[in-house]
Structure 1
């Protein structure tokens, strides 16, 4: 039930303590940062900006940025993935739709697809929540590698050390 604007309780903050073991929130005011040190390289012209790396539940949320057209990766998801396109556009070779700026994409468990950024796109940025693992495969399903929240954390630690932010810079995104 909505509260009335003149109700004094409507503008009173919650007055009880939060649960003792509740984790801190994550607030990233400038998520699409111009500070290149914050973007973790994943491949040539491909980087990600970690937002939440949830090691206790095995998922991660990040911004994926691609700065050149072409085939990015072929991968399989045993768990669902959610995406929201912030800039540019992309598609999967296996489907006839295109994810454009403002598009939401739900990728169901079991989905295997090949991400492509079209030739006329200079930069693509998509917010993804990936649950579980991404399994990289060849066209016939042979496993070529994988990523999970722990490999993402390791990539961040290594990168942030290399750029002078320190390996513990990533801790602000870990829950």
Structure 2
């Protein structure tokens, strides 16, 4: 058995791969896309409380998946929440920790969360933090007495994005919907 140590070609050229279902993919797939996360060209920063904002990057209603960048603008907290699906995040800037764990995420660090865990996100970094995330399923938010306050799922995040865009005269970007 051959072991692949690197991709088999270094020539920058389009290769016509003979995939048996290519016509179906061409007809039914929404296709690849690029979302500019560095500017507001594709998605604005939408306020999320007084000290945070969200840049929405993708919504998949079929799988209840959503992607965004959470920006906590300075030292602060995102209250206790319970994930009902899998969360994958990368710390882009600053640092962040959960009160329930003994680690702190720093730029480039990967955060994995599994369904059924609740935690409280805290950043003490003077510049806060930015977290890129792919999230699946609902997130239940609780007050400090463990009372359910709200549930955020793909529909909540779509409403969050679209309401802000409508209220501020910003065109809703169809590239965000996969």
Band the TM-score falls in, shorter-chain normalisation:
0.7 to 0.9
Q: 1:13 aligns with which of 3, 15, 30?
A: 15
Unaligned runs of 5+ in 1: none
TM-score normalized by the length of structure 2: 0.84
TM-score normalized by the length of structure 1: 0.85
Q: 1:171 aligns with which of 160, 163, 174?
A: 174
User: Match of 2:61?
Assistant: 55
- CA distance in 1 between counterparts of 2:126 and 2:98 reads 15
- CA distance in 2 between counterparts of 1:86 and 1:32 reads 12
Instruction: Report the aligned-residue RMSD.
Output: 2.1
Pairs within 5 Å for 1:33-48: 33=39, 38-48=44-54
Instruction: Find out whether 1:132 has 2:137 as its counterpart.
Output: yes
1:157–1:170 contact (8 Å) kept in structure 2:
no
CA distances 1:83-130 after superposition (whole Å, capped 9, x unpaired): 100000111111111111111010111110001111x42131110111
1:153–1:170 contact (8 Å) kept in structure 2:
no
Aligned length: 167
User: Match of 2:122?
Assistant: 116
User: Match of 2:155?
Assistant: 150
